[in-house]
Amino acid sequence: MSRFLSYTLMVAAAASLAACGGQKTETTPAQTPANASSSTTAAPAGGDVTIMNVSYDVMRDFYKEYNPLFEKEYAAKHGGAKITIEQSHGGSSKQALSVANGLKADVVTMNQSSDVELLEKKGLIQAGWQAKLPDNAVPFTSTTVFLVRKGNPKGIQDWNDLIKDGNQVIIAHPKTTGNGRYSFLAAYGQALKANNGDEAKAKEYVKAFLKNVPIMDNGGRAATTTFVQRGIGDALITFENEANLASREFGKDQFEIIYPKYSIKAENPVAVVDKVVVGKGTGAAAKEYLDYLWSQPAQELAASLYLRPSNAEVLAANQDKFPTMETFRANDVFGTWDEIMKKFFADGGVFDEVNKK
């Protein structure tokens, strides 16, 4: 049984204990300061080192394959020295808060800049982190798509189909995870474009959209489990890579991916947690770990798992995996992530305003 399937079965078993009716929030297991192991000592003289990567939940599959690649590269580069990489996964914003509250992450690999910026504001990451790595510290990107059941029985082709009566939509919770946040902003942004920038009409659209959402999970992988394992919903709104992995894992005879005409570009930034690595003496290893994300093997791995690589040559060689889409950047349409968080996702913001049943 594959690791993806094992994990989704575990989440499904836990989720089945909850009633399906009404809107509720469900959590994806994630390490916290209480249960995540980490090394707090400096790297020994022999070169062996332990680092922790705190990441968002749908990146489990990528890092399960990336970490062994990097461990082999590290050993070859450092005379056989061993690097041990510990992982922590969960809803992106909850993960960032865990690091802010003491989880000893050497690196963070998130799905939106606001989660890294939170750690910058807390003094854990130095200003200018985006300039320390290529492509503004974004090794690969994704976009928001729809996963539907085979044959697409509800005929869902674009955003307007998601607000039709009787169509149930599954998303992750926008207040706890970047996956859900991107889903909400994609829905809002396409409504803005369709209505020539009319904010009132965009709010009307997302209000109708959320009325068709019976459950919001606290992570993107938990939302996938709700859709594919528990059989709830007619469409899952999620990242392109997650939709492809779910479709591949559970069989193309069960699911189809629908690419909307217009969607959001999800940028996945990474950063060294400066304050932690200084205390542990792991700064060089942590930087190497992130640098290797731009290597040819890592970029090809990303493409194989349906993440759009930053390397233009690797992207071109894998173009058959990535249909051409019109996308927008959240920052280009809505402003800085600080402005986005305050306007849409702070208490009393647009999300709260339109999410009233």
Task: Read off the amino acid at residue 28.
Answer: T
Contact 257, 243 (CB under 8 A): yes
Q: How far is CA 226 from the centre of its chain?
A: 17
Separation CA 335–CA 264 (nearest Å): 14
CATH 3.40.190.10 correct for 22-28+142-266+325-354: yes
Domain borders along the chain are 22-28+142-266+325-354, 49-139+268-321
Separation CA 171–CA 239 (nearest Å): 10
Tens of pLDDT along the chain (357 residues) come to: 444 444 444 444 433 333 333 333 333 333 333 333 333 334 443 479 999 999 998 899 999 999 999 999 999 999 999 999 999 998 888 899 999 999 999 999 998 999 999 999 999 999 999 999 999 999 999 999 999 999 999 999 999 999 999 999 999 999 988 999 999 999 999 999 999 999 999 999 999 999 999 999 988 889 999 999 999 999 999 999 999 998 888 766 899 999 999 999 999 999 999 999 999 999 999 999 999 999 999 999 999 999 999 999 999 999 999 999 999 999 999 999 999 999 999 999 999 999 986
Residue 58 half-sphere exposure, CB side, CA atoms within 13 Å? 30
Residue 38 half-sphere exposure, CB side, CA atoms within 13 Å? 26
Contact 156, 162 (CB under 8 A): yes
Contact 264, 186 (CB under 8 A): yes
Q: Given this chain, do its domains 22-28+142-266+325-354 and 49-139+268-321 carry the same CATH topology?
A: yes
pTM of the entire predicted model: 0.83
Task: Read off the amino acid at residue 200.
Answer: A
Phi-psi region of 233 (alpha: psi -120 to 50; beta: other; left: phi over 0): left
Tokens encoding 336: 């800085």
Separation CA 156–CA 150 (nearest Å): 11
Task: Read off the amino acid at residue 323.
Answer: P
Residue count of the chain:
357
Q: How many CB atoms lie within 10 A of CB 46?
A: 11
CATH number of 49-139+268-321: 3.40.190.10
